Amino acid sequence: MSSTPKLPPGPPHTAANWSAGWYRFARRLDSPNFGARPRDASIDLVVLHSISLPPGVYGGDEVQALFTNQLDWNAHPYFQQIKGLEVSAHFYVRRNGDLWQFVSCDARAWHAGKSSHHGRDNCNDFSIGVELEGLEGDTFETAQYETLQALLAAIAQQYPVQHVAGHEHIAPGRKIDPGPGFDWAVLQRGSDLPAQCFPAL
């Protein structure tokens, strides 16, 4: 597949970079797995995940296939464990930093599941989900941090972001991603968001 347009290195970002919740620097691939947000939702949380299919295998198109309900369940034994799963995220960051988008940020993607953040349940209602190609406990690539930093800056220009959290923080005991291999300090140092937006280091 062709590479995505390269993200700008950082702000300034403008509303011209967005159209109906779609970010111009991401490669668009529409997922059918989304819904409407509550009318009073304030989109103020970004949730980070990690994903690879099969687990620990990088570079294929299986994640894109999963998010678009096109995954061949018989292609690998692991896929039988997730057969029929209908999920999505707004964004997906490949190991090389390429950025994909599956759902408009104005809509509700299906990434968080049963979750709670600062006393609010159902984080899908008010969050933007970003999947990083990786494995819980494994490390992530410099290119992924760079793309994520630029993406967070762009999201914060368009939406009232107050918090960035991992799936592990909003579903503790049920989820462990992106996991101990993710360097929150690196992300925070390269971000324009204040330190209080991130999990305590």
**Nearest Cα to Cα of residue 126 among 134, 136, 135, 116:** 116
Q: Using one digit for the tens of pLDDT, what is the confidence trace for 20-73?
A: 999 999 999 999 999 999 999 999 999 999 999 999 999 999 999 999 999 999
pTM, 2 dp: 0.93
CATH number of the domain residue 91 falls in:
3.40.80.10
Report pLDDT digits (tens) over 76-123.
999 999 999 999 999 999 999 999 999 999 999 999 999 999 999 999
Q: Are 49 and 131 in contact (CB under 8 A)?
A: yes
Nearest to 133 by CA among 190, 193, 64: 64
Domain-embedded: residue 153: yes
Count other C-beta atoms under 10 Å from residue 25's C-beta.
Answer: 18
62: annotated active-site residue? no
pLDDT digits (tens, 9 = 90+) for 135-175: 998 999 999 999 999 999 999 999 999 999 999 999 999 99
Q: Is residue 7 part of a domain?
A: no
Check 62, 86, 131, 136 and give the catalytic one.
131
- Residue at 64: amino acid letter: Q
- Indicate whether 89 belongs to any domain: yes
